[in-house]
Amino acid sequence: MDSNRFEHLDLAAVRAKLSSERGPRFWRSLDELAGTKAFEDFLHREFPRFASEWDSGDSGRRKFLQVAGASIALAGLTACTRQPAEKIVPYVKAPEDIVPGKPLFFATSVSMNGVGAGVLAESHMGRPTKIEGNPEHPGSLGAADVFAQASVLQLYDPDRSQTVLKYGEIATWSAFQTDVAELRKSLQGRRGAGLRILTETVTSPTLASEIEGILALYPEAKWAQYDPTGPHGARLGSQAAFGEIVGYHFNVAAAKVILAVDSDFLTSGPGSVRYAREFADGRRVRGGNYQMNRLYAVESTPSNTGGKADHRWAMKPSDIGPFLAALARELGIDTGSLSPGQAPSWLKPLADDLKANAGASLIVVGDEQPAAVHALAHAINVTLGNAGRTVIYRQPLEARPADQVGALKQLVADMESGSVEVLLIVGGNPVYNAPADLNFSAALDKVRMRLHWGLYNDETAERCQWHIPGTHALEAWGDVRAYDGTVTLVQPLIEPLYKGKSEFEFLSAFGEQAEKRSYDAVRAYWQKQRPGADFEAWWRKVVHDGLVADTAPAARAVALRAGWQSGLTFSGAGNGLEIIFRPDPTVFDGRFANNGWLQELPKPLTKTTWDNVVLLSVRTAERLGLRAQDEVQLHLGGKVVAGAPVWILPGHADDCATVHLGYGRARAGQVGTGIGFNVYPLRTSDALGGISGLEIRKTGGKVTVACTAEHWSMEGRHLVRQGTIEDFRAHPEHPAFVHAVAHDPPPEFSFYPEHKYDGYAWGMAIDLNACNGCNACIVACQAENNIPVVGKDQVDRGREMQWLRVDRYFEGDLDNPRVHHQPLPCQQCENAPCEVVCPVAATVHSDEGLNDMVYNRCVGTRYCSNNCPYKVRRFNFYLYADFVTEVTKMQRNPDVSIRSRGVMEKCTYCVQRINQARIDSKREDRDVRDGEIVTACQQTCPTQAIAFGDINNPESRVAKLKKEQLNYGILTDLNTRPRTTYLASLRNPNPAIPDTAAKV
């Protein structure tokens, strides 16, 4: 709109014109009245600019062809579509064109610590909206963890760096190139002396070859990789055991007895999605098969893996090494100088069990454990003959396997000495997360030229002269290795939203060739690897599948180095408490601090959100006189971290405290800045996993922590039902632990007539034996159903919006309880208490048994929520949905409405997916096939714990599961008759070991 428009109007003339008119005269604007040129133009042209060029008089054949050509090109573009120009191949099938309303799926990958997860990205009209697992990918098998799924929100983060910055001022890419050209000249003169490249772990073959190319160009340059939460101890441990850094992954499917030593291999770290699946498959007891694997866990910080364990023992970090040494001795291994700790009573039965299953046993050690513990585990695994069976040794994933901490130390030393002229920081945020003793930040000042490439204008970017906004994994091409080494392709779904540059483009500025686009780099690399004439066909298949088949390195034989024990020590117990550093279960090392979904995702065991806490055992907290949410200061080695809240976690080891990394960010963005406390200042390079000497000082203050489930106990209610495999084997037809309460009331108990379901009757069964509480389903639901993030204050008030929650209960001993996880979507009751109480009939029963929520009709009395015994309903107390930020709107699933203020909402069983399948089936004149509808939670579940389908069809998977003897519903004595039922969980304890979580 022309702001000066009214100045051009002669209002007197308008008046005169009006007075001369006869009869009613309607006018739309003063422009029209005045008959201005602008208005004439407006009337004339539907699209004011260029649209009616056609009538400009000089239109000839050429012009016609130009315009026709342009319009054909334009027709191919749909609104909002920002499809990259390079050839990308849709995963399922390639339709002629995009069908509006039909999503396409593309295979790609998102990575963490250099290891890629195979995913499918769902694209609506060119907008990636959701990340799901890639069923053909070995690391995914169709499932995805919380981080991979939440990365789609990161793509649309409005706080992502949007422009090239020079000294913090907006600059241009070409200015950067000019500057770099200068730099390049001076560097080349010195053979690259003074050039350092710092990256995160690089497993990408293409990126590695690009970096190698640059290093070849500047022979004196050096490359260091660092990830704050990488497997540093594991690398050194394998080096100690085998004499070189050896990579390995696990074949959990082959393991009958597993010992997890401070390892959460089921829900965190590379391969966890696959491991969780294999572990769950090894425990599915169906149809007269009573075989189950057995998991022992020894850990300091309670984890999801510990929660699934048949036997779990809490042990402080300094006891873990000696315990493993004792176990090794029990198994006849010479541990040399690694002196064993006192053998607990259960050590021998454990060792016997491992020995009895030699070759089918598995010792898994957490990445944070020191080298000595890893070396011991290798020794045990090799001695038991597990190598090559349950532990697959192979080449490391990294292109340049190295002791990353050592390399970083060297880099910082060089920086300190002033020998680093130019530092390229490609990803990562070392100013925030480098080990505190290295003092990276101070050393950075001594580097003359600092260049940063990254997604965010973060703590590190602020300290660099140049900052180049990076591309998200969904914006650029690339490749990366999966947990087993399979090369996984990264393909973009969208042009960079914020003019970001890929790392290839960034690095190519230092190379000799012209700017290299990511597509060219990746394609050229693979063309070199596969020079045949059939490359094009092969490439298309690779892009389609999202992975390069047979690129996983072959398994290799390993032999323990003689005298492997020498030089290894355990971190001894010192004075004070022991501190344990762990990546956060939701914001990881801090990279997801600005991701609302992950911030609001309840941490699996504490159910806290938006904060990190100091986790203490019940006994230690009592000893220190601390209560939950007490504000404390952490004193360690002369450093102090203040403002930390205490949280008490039953099952935590005594005399130690766990703190999670990733909080206290200074420049994360509007979501993550200033939340929680930063513990990196306490973390030193020699003790990345933890150290003793911690002192906790109470300040007397309180820090509010928003927790979604403060109550620990089931209060004797039979919500999660669990028994042992022996109980089940003894009473397969009527296991007592499943039928703990009186039988359900008969249908005629209801006052109202029965519903009739002639067609489909949707139902769900959730196998608690498989569920490990990993939270993937919650994020899937959040992405699929456009669930808003409400913030810490609202969560604290009990107003979190997640439709699906995972309930966590502790059972038994306060010091070492059993942990149960129970995903709780809407139960879709047959006799739904919510339906009858809604005065405006906004929640009604569908003829397929769904409890439908009609948002438009809802006036928000909240009576339905009050009357829901499962409390699965969520209310929009405020206008939670973001109707303002344009870019985040692109993430929304167009098939699900955005709810406004004052409206109740809840799980719909992904009714949009049901309807899609129904439409498809009707068009093909058939019934919906079993398995055709996959709810979002079911789709992403790593353990396939969730089954969904038509319970009217006795052949459906869900109907069969509901016939299992382990099947039960919760609160069925209320005659709600829930459509969601559960399969009781089973344990397989070692009869020779007394129950470790004795009931209280």
* Footprint on this chain of another protein (rule: CB under 8 A): 709-717, 719, 752, 794, 797-799, 805, 807-809, 822, 824, 833, 835-841, 857-863, 865-867, 869-871, 873-879, 901-904, 970-971, 974, 976
- Residue 902: CB minimum distance to another protein, A: 3
Q: Hey, what amino acid is at 10?
A: D
Q: Is 82 exposed, middle or buried (0-12, 13-18, 19+ CB in 10 A)?
A: middle
- At closest approach, how far in Å is the CB of 787 from another protein? 14
Greatest Cα pair distance in the chain: 111
814 token code pair: 């306060």
Q: Least distance (Å) from another protein to the CB of residue 975?
A: 9
Complex with another protein: residue 432 or 880, whichever CB lies closer: 880
Least separation in angstroms between residue 705's CB and another protein is: 14
**Alpha carbon separation from 38 to 11, 44, 75 (Å, rounded):** 16, 10, 28
The C-alpha atoms of residue 891 and residue 360 are separated, in whole angstroms, by: 45
Residue 56 three-state SS: helix
Chain CA centroid to CA 588, Å = 9
CB neighbour class for 874 (10 Å; exposed up to 12, middle 13-18, buried from 19):
buried
**Toward another protein, which CB reaches closer, 112 or 970?**
970
Burial class (CB in 10 A: 0-12, 13-18, 19+), 754: exposed
Q: How far is the CB of 841 from another protein (least distance, A)?
A: 4
Q: Residue 981 pairs with which residues in a beta bridge?
A: 765
- In sequence order, the β-bridge partners of residue 657 are 579
What is the closest distance, in whole angstroms, from the C-beta atom of residue 797 to another protein in the complex? 5
**Which residue's CB is nearer to another protein, number 522 or number 720?**
720
279 contacts: CB under 8 Å, gap ≥ 6: 252, 258, 266, 293, 295, 308, 772, 943
Residue placing its CB nearer to another protein in the complex, 523 or 977: 977
615 touches 621 (CB < 8 A): no
For the CB of residue 804, give the shortest distance to another protein in the complex, in Å.
13
Pick 535 or 863: Cβ nearer another protein: 863
- Classify 707 as helix, strand or coil: strand
> Between 440 and 809, whose beta carbon lies closer to another protein?
809
Half-sphere exposure of 440 (CA within 13 A, CB side): 30
Handedness of CA 201, 203, 206, 208 (dihedral sign): positive
Minimum CB–partner distance for residue 744 and another protein (Å): 14
Q: Which of 696, 904 has the CB closer to another protein?
A: 904
- For the bound state, the minimum distance from the C-beta of residue 54 to another protein, rounded and expressed in Å, comes to 44
When the beta carbons of 860 and 894 are compared against another protein, the nearer one is 860
CB of 778 to another protein, least distance (A): 13
- CB closer to another protein out of 711 and 963: 711
> Measured between alpha carbons, how far is 981 from 964 in angstroms, rounded to an integer?
11
Instruction: Give the residue with the Cβ less far from another protein, 656 or 706.
Output: 706
Nearer to another protein, 543 or 795 (CB): 795
590 within 8 A of 662, measured Cβ to Cβ: yes
Segments in 251-338 forming alpha helices (H): 272-281, 304-308, 317-330
Report the nearest approach of another protein to the CB of residue 859 (Å).
Answer: 4
Distance CA 367, CA 112 (A): 14
- Cβ proximity to another protein, 298 vs 824, nearer residue: 824
Nearer to another protein, 691 or 795 (CB): 795
State the Cα–Cα distance between residues 864 and 873, nearest whole angstrom.
8
Q: Smallest distance, Å, CB 973 to another protein? A: 9
Nearest to 449 by CA among 172, 194, 174, 173: 194
| 3-class DSSP assignment, residue 963 | helix
> In 3D, which of 225, 299, 228 has the Cα closest to residue 265?
299
Residue identified by tokens 């590379």 is 270
Q: How far is the CB of 631 from another protein (least distance, A)?
A: 20
Q: Which residues make Cβ contacts (< 8 Å) with residue 595, sequence separation at least 6?
A: 150, 153, 154, 157, 587, 671, 672
Residue 317 beta carbon to another protein: minimum distance, rounded to whole angstroms:
30
Tell me the sheet residues that pair with 535.
Answer: none
For another protein, the closer of residues 99 and 736 by Cβ is 736
Distances (CA, A) of 757 to 18, 532, 596: 67, 59, 40
Q: Which is nearer to another protein, 342 or 856 (CB)?
A: 856
- Residue 992 has φ and ψ, to the nearest 5°, of -80, -10
Q: In the complex, what is the shortest distance from the CB of residue 876 to another protein, in angstroms, rounded to a whole number?
A: 7
Say how far apart CA 566 and CA 749 lie, in whole Å: 73
Question: Which of 717, 729 has the CB closer to another protein?
Answer: 717
Alpha helices in 756-880 (DSSP H): 776-784, 792-796, 833-837, 863-867
Residues in the chain: 1000
Q: How far is the CB of 709 from another protein (least distance, A)?
A: 5
CB of 580 to another protein, least distance (A): 27
Is the distance from CB of 965 to CB of 735 less than 8 angstroms? Answer: yes
300 vs 985 by CB, closer to another protein: 985
Comparing CB distances to another protein, the nearer of 210 and 835 is 835
Task: Please give the Cα distance from 383 to 558 (Å, whole number).
Answer: 11
Give the Cα separation of 782 and 601 in Å (integer).
10
End-to-end CA distance of the chain: 74
Distance CA 570, CA 792 (A): 40
Report the nearest approach of another protein to the CB of residue 282 (Å): 28
